[in-house]
Amino acid sequence: MSAAATDNAVRVSVLLPVHRLDGPSTLARAVSSITQQTLAGLELLLIANGSDAPTLRDMHAAASGDPRTRVIELPEANLAAALNEGMRQARSELVARMDADDWSHPDRLQIQCSFMDGHPEVAAVGSSWDRVTAGGGRERVVVPTDPRELRWRLLLENPVAHGSMVLRRSMVTEVGGYDPACTRAQDYDLWLRLAARHPVAAVPEVLYEYTARHAGGREESVELQAMTAARSLVRAWSGLAGAVPGDSALASAIAPIVGGGRSFQRAIDAVEGELANRGPTAAAMIARLWLEWQACRGRAGSSDLCRLARVREVVGQMKAAGASRAWVWGAGRHTEWLIEHAGSLGLPVAGIVDDHAAGQVRGSLTVEDPGRLTAGEHVLISSDGFEDQIWGSSASVRGRGVRVWRLYGQNPADHRADKRLGS
């Protein structure tokens, strides 16, 4: 069979490149998470990307005993070139990515391949994912699922974990594949080129666990990676179309803010609607960023938009940890503001608790004593200036199994996500 041929018995080909395995290897765990997938009909290509002899031995050992797994040896290290070679040797039109120290949920490939089968126009599909730090902490990254939103979001940042993706080989080839000139940020460069021509999507499930490779839980800033990503962004921005002269929809969206209004979220929602419905244009992207700048420049302290963005981030973590509703702890002005924006939170508000204001009314809610809270409830601290004090006074409540969440401070690692799916 030629390298370009597609074997109908293989539904998805998984590319797992390895350069060097440093210290205790997690390769066996990564390989096992693929070979134990619920999807039938897969192959796993372990790509030795300029690997040394000990790494090659570990790779061949990981591939032994499973006829679906084979090793491709490349003499020189270049991740983009290695992935392109894997694409050429793949037996399937659908090609998944995987990294050597990460983990895939057992249903990952079944879910993503079923999505691709049902959406033949989509070039790639990712999923939401967990970032795991060296100390065992977790941070959940929720990826936009709508290709229309993800297209313009990618013009601002890369929310996608490379190893979580399933790609349609023909569409990747159409845009030139991975760029071997990109020795870093190869994935972001490809996503920007793919999304300019084809839909790129994500499924809502958390299907991938990414292990941060540096202390502190995030990749250290690497000058070469930053420059590669920056060049890819500038190229993508340069290709954006301009606005229709006199674009009334865009002008109407920002006019209230130009006139001194402060309904920033309403204006941003309107502009994002234009970005989704018509695709990103230079003018719409500038309008989106201009609104965020106007909101965050702080004419009267922290803007509604900045606070709402933080609230949504923490509420997203609460939902990922199983919250179906949220209590609010605090009865001051911050809570009055929060209740006014309750429709934007994404979780119903169960009530308000406060150590000193029980029986008082805030909006339509009567403040209750924190002793009212029961194990398993989720509570969001709502205070600009007294979060540390409330956190300290919540110790006894937390000791009873109530999940108390900080809005502006750091939440404990065990708060931020559920345990691994399937465990």
Claim to verify: residue 133 and residue 214 sit in the same structural domain? yes
263 touches 256 (CB < 8 A): yes
Claim to verify: residue 219 and residue 259 sit in the same structural domain? no
Claim to verify: residue 186 and residue 291 sit in the same structural domain? no
CATH classification at residue 333: 3.40.50.20
Q: Residue 409: is its pLDDT beyond 90?
A: no
Evaluate whether residue 1 is within a structural domain.
no
Residue 147 has phi, psi (to 5 degrees) of: -55, -30
Evaluate whether residue 396 is within a structural domain.
yes
User: Looking at residue 328, what is its pLDDT?
Assistant: 95
Helices then strands, counting H and E runs in the chain, come out as: 15, 15
Claim to verify: residue 142 and residue 75 sit in the same structural domain? yes
pTM comes to 0.68
Evaluate whether residue 7 is within a structural domain.
no
Claim to verify: residue 166 and residue 287 sit in the same structural domain? no
Q: Residue 3: is its pLDDT beyond 50?
A: no
pLDDT digits (tens, 9 = 90+) for 335-369: 888 888 887 778 899 999 998 888 888 878 899 99
Claim to verify: residue 170 and residue 86 sit in the same structural domain? yes
Claim to verify: residue 263 and residue 142 sit in the same structural domain? no
Evaluate whether residue 41 is within a structural domain.
yes
Claim to verify: residue 222 and residue 314 sit in the same structural domain? no
Range of the domain at 328: 304-415
| pLDDT-wise least confident of 72-86, 103-117, 118-132, 261-275 | 261-275
Evaluate whether residue 127 is within a structural domain.
yes
Q: How many independent structural domains does the chain possess?
A: 3
Claim to verify: residue 362 and residue 389 sit in the same structural domain? yes
Last residue of a domain, one of 276, 296, 316: 296
* b/e 335-353 (16+ beta carbons within 10 angstroms → b): beebbeeeeebebebbbbb
Evaluate whether residue 214 is within a structural domain.
yes
295 touches 264 (CB < 8 A): yes
Q: Residue 98: is its pLDDT beyond 70?
A: yes
314 touches 341 (CB < 8 A): no
CATH classification at residue 97: 3.90.550.10
pLDDT digits (tens, 9 = 90+) for 224-254: 777 788 888 888 888 888 766 667 788 888 8
